[in-house]
Amino acid sequence: MSADRSGVLPVDKPEGPTSHDVVALARRALGTRRIGHTGTLDPFASGLLLLCVGRATRLAEYLVGLPKTYVATVRLGTVTDTADPTGEVIGRSEGWRDLDEETILAAFAGQLGRIRQLPPAFSAKRVRGERAYDRARRGETVELAPVEVEISRLDVLRIELPDIDFEVECSSGTYVRAIGRDVGEALGVGGHLTRLRRMKIGQHDVDAAVPVAKLDDPDAVRAAWLEPLAAVAHLPRLEVDGEALGRLRHGGAIAVHGEAPPPRAPVAIVHRGALAAIGEVDRGRVRPRKVFHDA
């Protein structure tokens, strides 16, 4: 694969390394420094990372906000300071032994919809310019404000107490660790995640990703590789001819024929089957935001 090629590489991260570690491995394997990811996974978690390569790093903002799907396991009765297995145990309860299925399902149902969620103290949220987890690791009290998130689907897959497997589809910015923590609190016994795996980001599925162990395999990378247009397939698409593309490349606007996307909505501008630019709708016309000159 050419070192100057641009696109998005879906990668299946194993448990253990950080997301930054995976980026470093990809940089060495692909022979380029210009790689960024579109949302971190905790070291204990596994699953889908979308790596933007080359000029496709400019597409990251259109991918980072996509909804996510995870499978996870919460262990009731044990509370850790990180809400995951990497933290110190700060509370225990045997109350999970008295729980029934109906009560458990009701606690999960209480997490559905648009809710106010308190991020974990050990999170990447910034507090006065510093990551919350850095302050928490120094033993400081971290005060974070609840944020609005949307949990559109939350299915309990298996109940084998004290462990419960579940699958969640949620908005970007949702902490699945916080779901496990809050379900445990709602049940009065506490809890923490023991397993977390990201299955999907938007329409992108981990089943089509390249395992980290195969980043050095050109065939495996090629099979997983997404051209820029495929990476932003969720965006409305506008086909243009050479004349319109020339106008966009010089900062001009073009008319939208037919039903226009919502104002300020990003639009994938396509020329000869490739992503030529990302535009933005403004009063019935599309103006260029990012132009890819090699399209």
For 68-201, which CATH superfamily applies? Pseudouridine synthase (3.30.2350.10)
For 10-43, how does the pLDDT look when each residue is reduced to its tens digit (9 = 90+)? 999 999 999 999 999 999 999 999 998 888 899 9
Catalogue the long-range contacts made by 236-244 (C-beta closer than 8 Å, 24 or more residues apart). 236/261, 236/265, 236/266, 236/267, 236/268, 237/267, 237/268, 237/270, 238/267, 238/268, 238/269, 238/270, 238/279, 238/286, 239/270, 239/271, 240/269, 240/270, 240/271, 240/276, 241/271, 242/271
CB-count burial class (<10 Å; 0-12, 13-18, 19+) for 184: buried
For 112-167, how does the pLDDT look when each residue is reduced to its tens digit (9 = 90+)? 999 999 888 655 544 444 444 444 454 545 566 788 999 999 999 999 999 999 99
CATH number of the domain at 7-66+203-231, please? 3.30.2350.10
For residue 4, is pLDDT > 90? no
Domain coordinates in residue numbering, the chain:
7-66+203-231, 68-201, 237-291
Residue type (1 letter), 91: G
Residue type (1 letter), 47: G
How far is 250 from 114, CA to CA, in rounded Å?
Answer: 42
- Please, what is the angle between helix 101-109 and helix 176-186, to 10°? 130
Q: In the beta sheet, which residues pair with residue 147?
A: 117
Handedness of CA 83, 89, 93, 96 (dihedral sign): positive
Counts for the chain of helices (H) and strands (E), in that order: 7, 19
For 187-212, how does the pLDDT look when each residue is reduced to its tens digit (9 = 90+)? 999 999 999 999 999 999 999 999 99
The CATH class of 237-291 is mainly beta
Is residue 162 reached through a cis peptide bond, with omega within 30 degrees of 0 on the bond before it? yes
Task: Kindly report the backbone phi and psi dihedral angles of residue 265, in degrees, each rounded to the nearest multiple of 5, phi listed first.
Answer: -75, 140
For the annotated catalytic residues, the residue numbers are 42
For 217-268, how does the pLDDT look when each residue is reduced to its tens digit (9 = 90+)? 999 999 999 999 999 999 999 999 999 889 988 888 888 776 667 778 899 9
Say if 7-66+203-231 and 68-201 have the same CATH topology.
yes
